[in-house]
Amino acid sequence: MKKLVLNLEPLTCPSCIKKIEGALKRLDGISEAKVLFNSGKVRAEFDENKVSVEEIANTVSGLGYPIVSQKVS
């Protein structure tokens, strides 16, 4: 399993958390998705054989949340 941290532009409402987490959890290969509202970070644990970093990032940015940076470990 790989871990991904996306740094987003500041989030404006707590409902953003459910929107982002819900969309990521629907992707095949995501085992965990967590949004840290105050820091504007999205943490995801995923199976790189089922879903790519690009797919995860595109899902988040497609919801209207610009990504400032990302880190995979």
* 2 within 8 A of 73, measured Cβ to Cβ: yes
Q: Which residues of the chain have pLDDT under 50?
A: none
With beta carbons less than 8 A apart as the criterion, state whether 29 and 51 touch.
Answer: yes
What's the confidence (pLDDT) of residue 13?
Answer: 85
Instruction: Provide the pLDDT for residue 12.
Output: 84
| Secondary structure (3-state) at 26 | coil
Radius of gyration of the chain (CA): 11
* Listed residue (72, 23, 16) closest to 39, CA to CA: 16
What dotted CATH number matches 2-72? 3.30.70.100
Return the number of other C-beta atoms located less than 10 Å from residue 34's C-beta. Answer: 13
Q: What is the pTM assigned to this prediction?
A: 0.93
Instruction: Look at residue 10 in the predicted model and tell me its pLDDT.
Output: 85
For the chain, the structural domain boundaries read: 2-72
